[in-house]
Amino acid sequence: MDDLDERIETLAGWIAAVKYLVMFTGAGISTESGIHDFRGPDGLWTRQEKGLPPPPKVDWSRVQPNQAHYAITTLQNMGKLKFLITQNVDNLHLKSGIKPELIAEFHGNITKLKCTSCENQIDAFPDLIYTDCPICEQGKLVSSIVNFGDSIPRKAYEDSVRHSKQCDLFIVAGSSLTVYPATEMPEIALKAGAKLVIINGEKTLFDNRCHLRFWEKTGTVLSLMISKLDKLIDT
């Protein structure tokens, strides 16, 4: 299926009829907000492999959600989105209006601290780092960012597995699906019988197994899908 309009119509039709939609986002969804991804043409790892210096640092205070983030929030507000899994730490999903109980942030959040014991998160303030957790009073407050080699937060992982097992449509947006254990989620969804949609400019390990593939920008695809979905629902 090569025609973009035809693929958009197919995706909108699936979402109109969906019973349990789970979405999964990676760095590629935030490039339109001015944040560099990792494996794209000018991504961090791509530049390293070419011997180029890293891209300019991001002024996080000025970064705003883009049309892809808001399209996902629209799906939430329409009652279509059941759960969102993200590899991103940029806080843009929450900033766009995603409800905290509907998102699993696999790699943490730059604006949050977490407890080393109960894993609850609170807004990050410099004077709170390494202080006692006010919720469980057992652990210490540390950065919520998950570095290479660290374990994924238990609740985020367990929630993601549970929702992936229940979904009938799993949409990947802006991820090459190469980082473990994130790659488990589309696999779990496929085994549960879900349709798999991939929106990503780079190849993924699931390209030959997905039911619908978009190479276009995530913002373009998701905003067009919302427009088509609105028309389908109104008719």
Long-range interactions of 40-49: CB distance < 8 A, separation 24+: 40/201, 40/202
Q: Do residues 14 and 116 share a domain?
A: no
What is the rounded distance in angstroms from the CA atom of residue 93 to the CA atom of residue 80?
16
Q: Per the residue annotation, which of 36, 69, 93, 107 is the catalytic one?
A: 107
Residue 185 is inside which H or E element, if any? helix 184-191
Query: How many secondary structure helices (H) and strands (E) does the chain include?
Result: 7, 9
pLDDT of residue 128: 67
Q: Do residues 38 and 97 share a domain?
A: yes
Q: Do residues 229 and 127 share a domain?
A: no
Structural domain for 134, as ranges: 111-144
Q: Do residues 85 and 47 share a domain?
A: yes
pLDDT of residue 227: 96
Q: Do residues 115 and 156 share a domain?
A: no
pLDDT of residue 219: 95
Any bridge partners for residue 173, and if so which? Answer: 25, 199
- The domain boundary, picked from 93, 122, 144, lies at 144
Strand ranges (E), the chain: 21-25, 81-86, 103-105, 112-115, 121-123, 141-143, 169-173, 195-199, 212-214
Q: Do residues 177 and 133 share a domain?
A: no
Q: Do residues 156 and 219 share a domain?
A: yes
Q: Do residues 87 and 77 share a domain?
A: yes
CATH of the domain at 96: 3.40.50.1220
pLDDT of residue 125: 67
pLDDT of residue 64: 93
Domains in the chain, number: 2
Residue 182 sits at the vertex; the CA angle it makes with 177 and 188, to the nearest 5 degrees, is: 95
- The domain boundary, picked from 97, 126, 144, lies at 144
Q: Do residues 16 and 34 share a domain?
A: yes
- The domain boundary, picked from 98, 121, 144, lies at 144
36 included as an active-site residue: no
pLDDT in tens, the chain (235 residues): 679 999 999 999 999 999 999 999 999 999 888 876 555 555 444 445 556 566 566 666 777 999 999 999 999 999 999 999 999 999 999 999 999 999 999 888 887 777 777 877 767 666 667 677 777 877 876 666 777 667 788 889 999 999 999 999 999 999 999 888 888 999 999 999 999 999 999 999 999 999 999 999 999 999 999 999 998 887 6
Q: Do residues 130 and 56 share a domain?
A: no
pLDDT of residue 118: 82
Q: Do residues 137 and 55 share a domain?
A: no
Q: Do residues 12 and 91 share a domain?
A: yes
